[in-house]
Amino acid sequence: MTDQTDGKVATSTEGPRVSLPAGADRQQLGILMARLLVGQCAICHVRAGAVLVPAEDGSIGVLAVCPSPDKDQELVAWLQSSAQAARQVLSDPSRSSGPWQVLFQPSSDLQSRMATVLISMDLPQVGRFIEAFAVPDSMINQVQVLQHRLVQSVRMIEAYDQQLAIQGPARRLQTVSSVMAIISAVERLPQFVPAAMEFCNQLAAVWGCDRVSLGILSGRMVKVKAISHTERFSRKTRPIQLIEAAMEEALDQQTEVIWPAPQDELVISRAAGELAAVSGAKGLFVVPLEEQTGPAVVVLAERSAQFDQQTLDGIRLACQICGPLLSRLWSQGRWFGARIAHKVRAAAAVVVGPRYTWVKLVACLVAAFAAWSIIGKGQYRVHAPFALSAEVLQGICAPFDGYLKQVHVEVGQTVEANKTILAELDTAELRLQLASAKAELASYLKQVDAYMRDGQTAKAQVAQADADKIQAQIDLLGQMIEKAALVSPIDGTVVKGDLKKQVGGPVKTGQVLFEVAPLEGLYAELFVPEDQVLDLAVGQKGALATASFPGQRLPIVVERINPMAEVVNGRNVFRVRATLEQTTRWLRPGMEGVAKVDVDRRPYIWIWTRKLINWIRMKLWI
C-alpha cells in the first residue's frame, strides 16, 4: 500500500481485478475512491472508511482506506472484520444486485469495538464496490443518522455516474475526481469563511470560471459571503447587489438558473441577464440549495464562455456535496444569540407555515382546550351514593304463635289506620280453648252456688277463685281471637310483607309480618366520602337519581350532616340527611342511587384533577 493525501489515505493497486474504463487506470481509480472516502469521513464524522472490491473467486480486496491503518492495530482489526462481514453479506443471493446497506454492531470477540456500516456502490462504467465505514463509540447512539447520511452520499455518486454514463467513462472519472478534490480541500478547514473562500477558488480553478460567488440566506435576503480570489468586497456596490439579486431569483424559484437560457426554458433569468450585461460574462450558472438543518446556500458561477453540460454537472455535484457542509459551518460559526434566534425563527416558520396542517390543528385544539379548562369554570358537585328512608316505619307483628290463615294486601297497597285488615291468623284452636274454658267456668260457678247453699264458705271461696282464673283465660283467649285480624295503626303504604305464598305457614309471637310507611315522609340518606364532606353545608341544593329510574332527577336540600364518620362497605363516610323537595308515587323506602349536591363554580382543571392532586399530596407528603 502507498499513502496518499498527506498520509491520511491509503490506496492499493493490488488485489482483485477491476474492470476500468478506457483512459483510466487502477492508480487513478484508487486516488478517486480515496478522495471520496476523505469527503465522506469528514462530512459524516466517522472513524474510518474503506472501499472494498468483491473478486470473482469470492475474496474481498481493499481498494482504498481512510486513514491509513499501518500503525493502528484497531483499524487493522476493523478492516479484517469488515472484509469478513462483506463476504457474509455477499453470500446472500438477494444481495448480488441492487442497492443495499447493512449495519453490524460491534462484536465482543473482536479486537475492534466499532460498529460497521456496509453500503453497496454500483458504478455501471467502473464496477461494483462495497464501502465500509467505522462508527466510533461516541457516535453509537447516532448510528442510524450516520448510516442515512452515508447512504445518501453513495447514492448521489451513483446517480451522477448514471447521468454521465452516456458521456464516456473517462470524462466521468475526470469530473468525479475534480469534485472529490474540491471536497478534500474544503473539509480540512474548520471555519466557514476560509472554507467558503477555498470552495469558490477551487470551483473557479477547476472549471475555468471568471468568478464564483457564494451566498447565504439571512432572513428574507441572500447575502454574499465569499467571492473567488476576492478577500474584501462591499455589499453596497452595484455588482454585488446584482449578484445577490440573481441568487434570490434562483432561490425564489427553487430551481437552477442558466444564462443564456436554453430554448423552451420556462425559468425566469432576468436578474441573471442584468448581471451578465454589467459583468460582461457570457455564461452564468446559479445553484440554490435548500437546507432543512441550516440556512439555504446559493452558488453563482460566471465565465467568459457558455457552460457545457459536463461543467454544469460538475458544478452541480460539487455544490450538492459541499453545500450542507458549508451551511453547517455557517450555523456553527455564528454567536450563540444568532443561533438561538435562527432556531426560534425556524420553529416559528414551522408553526405558521403551510406544512403539518393537521398537527397544528390538533395542537391549536389542545391549547384551546387547555386554556378553556384553566380559565373556564363549571359547577362543582359532591357525588355520593344514597338510600331512601322513611320518617315513620310501622311494623305489624304476629300477636301470638299460630298459623297464617289469609293475606288481604300486597306490597305497595295503601291502607287506612285501624280499618284495612292486612291478614288473618287461624283461630280455630283458640276458639276450642275458649269454649272449653267457658264450660269449665260454668262448672266452677255451680260449685260456688252449691257450697254457699250448704254453708261451706271456705270451699265456696276456693271454687270462686278457680272460676276467676278461668275467666281470665277466657278474656285472654277472646283478646287473642280479636287480634288475629291484623290491621295497621297508621295510614300509609305497605312497603314490606309479600306473604301470600306463606299462607298456612307458622308464625311466631313478635315476628314482623308487614311494614307500613307514609310516603310523604321520605328522605335521602347520603354516604359522603370524608374527602368531600367539608365542601357540604346545610341548605345546599342538588338532585338525586335512583337506580330504578335513572332518567328522572329529584331535587333535594341538605338538612343535616352527621358529625361522626362510620365505615360503610369498607369506606370511611359521613351520613348526610337530605330532604326531598319533590316526591313521586313510585318512590319507596330502601331505594338506592346517586346524589349530586351543588357546591359552587370552580375551574374545570381543578374539578378534574382534584382527586389526583390529593392522592399525590398524600403519597409524597406535600
Q: pLDDT, tens digit, for every residue of 318-335?
A: 888 788 888 888 877 777
Return the half-sphere exposure (C-beta side, CA atoms, 13 A cut-off) of residue 435.
Answer: 5
Segment (H or E) for 360? helix 357-375
Rounded to the nearest 10°, the torsion over CA 419, 422, 426, 430 is -40
Check whether 125 has a pLDDT greater than 70.
no
Q: Is the separation of the CB atoms in 36 and 49 below 8 Å?
A: no
500 against 354, higher pLDDT: 500
Lowest mean pLDDT among 105-109, 360-364, 514-518: 105-109
Q: Side chain identity at 469, as an amino acid letter?
A: K
User: What residues form DSSP beta bridges with 217?
Assistant: 222
- pLDDT above 50: residue 14: no
- Residue 394 pLDDT class (50, 70, 90 cuts): confident
- For residue 180, pLDDT over 60 is answered with yes
> In 3-state terms, what secondary structure has residue 301?
strand
> How many Cβ atoms sit within 10 Å of the Cβ of residue 229?
12
Domain limits, the chain: 1-188, 189-355, 394-515, 518-620
- Range from 24-33, 255-264, 507-516 carrying the lowest mean pLDDT: 24-33
Cα angle 593-598-604, degrees, rounded to a multiple of 5: 105
pLDDT in tens, 564-622: 999 888 889 999 999 998 888 788 888 899 999 999 999 999 999 999 998 898 899 87
Residue 143's pLDDT is what? 67
Q: Could you give the 3-state DSSP secondary structure of residue 153? A: helix
DSSP 54: E
Dihedral in degrees, nearest 10, Cα atoms 331, 335, 340, 343 = -10
Asked whether this chain's domains 189-355 and 518-620 adopt the same fold, the reply is no
In the predicted model, is pLDDT for residue 271 greater than 70? yes
Q: Determine the Cα–Cα distance for residues 273 and 538; give it in Å rounded to an integer.
A: 89
What is the layout of strands, in order, in the sheet containing 60-66? 2-4, 9-11, 60-66, 48-54, 127-135, 115-123, 101-104
Query: Are β-strands 48-54 and 127-135 bridged in parallel, bridged antiparallel, or unpaired?
Result: antiparallel
Q: What percent of the chain has pLDDT over 70?
A: 84
Q: Which helix (H) or strand (E) holds 451?
A: helix 428-453
Residue 24 pLDDT > 60: no
| Nearest Cα residue to 214 out of 193, 232, 234 | 193
Q: What is the mean pLDDT of residues 184-212?
A: 87
Q: Quick one: pLDDT at residue 161?
A: 59
d(CA 119, CA 40): 12
- 189-355 CATH pick, 3.30.470.10, 1.10.1380.10, 3.30.450.40, 3.40.50.10440: 3.30.450.40
Q: Is domain 518-620 annotated with CATH 3.40.50.11740?
A: no
Using the predicted structure, report yes or no on whether residue 278 has a pLDDT greater than 60: yes
pLDDT recorded at residue 23: 41
Angle between helices 457-483 and 428-453 (to 10 degrees): 160
Q: Measuring CA to CA, how many Å separate 423 from each of 392, 399, 405?
A: 21, 12, 8
Q: What is the pLDDT of residue 479?
A: 86
| Residue 22: half-sphere exposure toward Cβ, Cα within 13 Å | 3
Q: What percent of the chain has pLDDT over 90?
A: 20
Higher pLDDT, residue 375 or 430: 375
Distance of CA 233 to the CA centre of its chain: 53
User: Which helix (H) or strand (E) is 445 found in, with range?
Assistant: helix 428-453
**What is the predicted pLDDT for the residue at 527?**
94
Alpha carbon distance 67, 479 (integer Å)? 122
Cell of 142: 447516532
C-alpha cell at 489: 295503626
Lowest mean pLDDT among 60-64, 133-137, 338-342, 611-615: 338-342
Where helices occur in 168-234 by DSSP H, the ranges are 169-187, 192-207
pLDDT of residue 182: 80
Is 199 within 8 Å of 184 (Cβ atoms)? no
Report which of residues 171 and 133 the model is more confident about: 133
Q: Which of 36-40, 217-221, 411-415, 442-446 has the lowest mean pLDDT?
A: 36-40
Segment 433-453 shows an average pLDDT of: 86
pLDDT of residue 124: 64
Confidence of residue 382 (pLDDT cuts 50, 70, 90): very high
Q: pLDDT tier at 13 (50, 70, 90 boundaries)?
A: very low
Task: Give pLDDT, residue 85.
Answer: 86
pLDDT in tens, 203-227: 898 888 999 999 998 878 899 999 9
Q: What is the mean pLDDT of the chain?
A: 81
| Per-residue confidence (pLDDT) for residue 91, from 0 to 100 | 82
Whether 535 shows a pLDDT value over 80: the answer reads yes
pLDDT of amino acid 558: 94
Confidence of residue 158 (pLDDT cuts 50, 70, 90): low
How confident is the model at residue 10, as a pLDDT?
Answer: 46
pLDDT at residue 298, as a whole number:
92
Of 62-76, 239-253, 572-586, the range with the lowest mean pLDDT is 62-76
Give, as one character, the DSSP assignment of residue 230: B
Q: How many CA atoms lie less than 13 Å away from 303 in the CB half-sphere? A: 17
User: Locate cell 437546507: which residue?
Assistant: 291
With 60 as the cut, is the pLDDT of residue 41 above it? yes
Alpha-carbon dihedral sign for residues 307, 312, 316, 322: negative
pLDDT at 38: 76
- Distance, CA of 59 to CA of 415 (rounded, Å): 108
- The predicted pLDDT at position 451 comes to 84
Is residue 341 pLDDT above 50, yes or no? yes
What H or E segment, with its residue span, contains residue 3?
A: strand 2-4
Fold of 1-188: Beta-Lactamase (3.30.450)
Pair 292, 256: CB distance under 8 Å: no
**Whole-prediction pTM:** 0.45
Highest mean pLDDT among 387-391, 400-404, 420-424, 599-603: 599-603
